[in-house]
Amino acid sequence: MKQVQVELENRRYSIEINPKLFEESEALSRFLLNKRVLIVTNDTVAPLYLNSLQQLITGASEVRSVILPDGEQYKTLAYLDNIYTALLEHNFSRDSVLIALGGGVIGDMTGFAAASYQRGIDFIQVPTTLLSQVDSSVGGKTAVNHVLGKNMIGAFYQPKYVMIDTDCLTTLPAREFAAGMAEVIKYGIMWDSEFFSWLESNVQKIKQLDAATLSDMIGRCCEIKAQVVAEDETEQGVRALLNLGHTYGHAIEAEMGYGVWLHGEAVASGMMLAAQTSVQLGLMTESQLAQIKALLLQFDLPTHIPDGMHFEHFIKHMRRDKKVLAGKIRLVLPEGIGRAGIYANITDEQLKQVIN
């Protein structure tokens, strides 16, 4: 069992990482004793894990579920309303608990529902995809998308507990696993060069889903995320570094239509654009850019932009990015491998050269 603590200013919570947690976790029920519980999941995950999770919950006064359609295109206010309706139809009160069982979309929507239902109820993350296990389930970012921008409607709202069963990754489609690796690689680029080197050395074990290797990898990602969130919970400074590749990547998702490219695929392309921007500004070398590209390609991630997308398509979405201040686009750019910074002095002409 690996355990990572997220230490915030006036509260803390645990992330537990282990195979077989759906069979033997004792921690989950401690949060649910005498509580009314609503599990939120989707129609892909429910047949795989909903019954196991329900059997794992003991001591709750009531357990219900709501099943949403699977896909980024359903991460909207319209589908969020399904959660509110289930809560209201069954008279759930402020001492109820939501459980997010699924990937990043389910986690984000459930967290936002918890943050806003009766002005805040508890929720627990049970992430089932690699991307959600290493990134979106930790740190309390919750949101839904708008047709004009990704994650523009949301709140910072921390879970009470995160339960990561690494065995879930054995049922994850290869494309989804690869998309999750984009966020894993991100941590190495923006924070930990030794971790980046470790990833380079363990590509085959990771792709073979070696249990110990996956546990170590996910644990390190959660440690980095927990450290950053503890320093800057509401993204006033250092937490913005976790958005490496996301300004470009969110533009790809919004322009292509949510779900056409998976989030991790768009982030991989975005990290390449960010790295190329860094090379252009003299922040990193061509050889470091080549290292990043090689590792992304090892996991079958895109290192190009979508066909038909040009500067004009990117810039209209990038101007709506949440990091824009005083009308200036701010980009997270790698400064070599293992560190990154936030830059606001990049001209449209420089962006055009990189994109085109």
Residues marked active site are found at: 119, 141, 183, 225, 235, 239, 243, 246, 250, 263
Give the position of tokens 């879970």: 159
Helices (H) and strands (E) in the chain, counts: 15, 11
Q: Please, are residues 321 and 262 in contact by the beta-carbon 8 Å criterion?
A: no
Report residue 255: phi and psi, to 5°: -75, -40
Dihedral sign from CA coordinates of 204, 210, 216, 218: positive
DSSP codes, 78-104? HHHHHHHHHHHHTT--TT-EEEEEESH
Other beta carbons within 10 Å of 194: 11
User: How much helix, strand and coil, in percent to the nearest 5, is found in the chain?
Assistant: 50, 20, 30
Q: Phi and psi at residue 120, in whole multiples of 5°?
A: 130, 115
Which candidate, 223, 350, 349, places its Cα nearest to that of 283? Answer: 350
C-alpha dist (Å) from residue 194 to 60, 106, 191, 247: 43, 32, 9, 25
178: nearest Cα among 264, 60, 71: 264
Structure tokens at 174: 């290869």
DSSP conformational letter for 137 = T
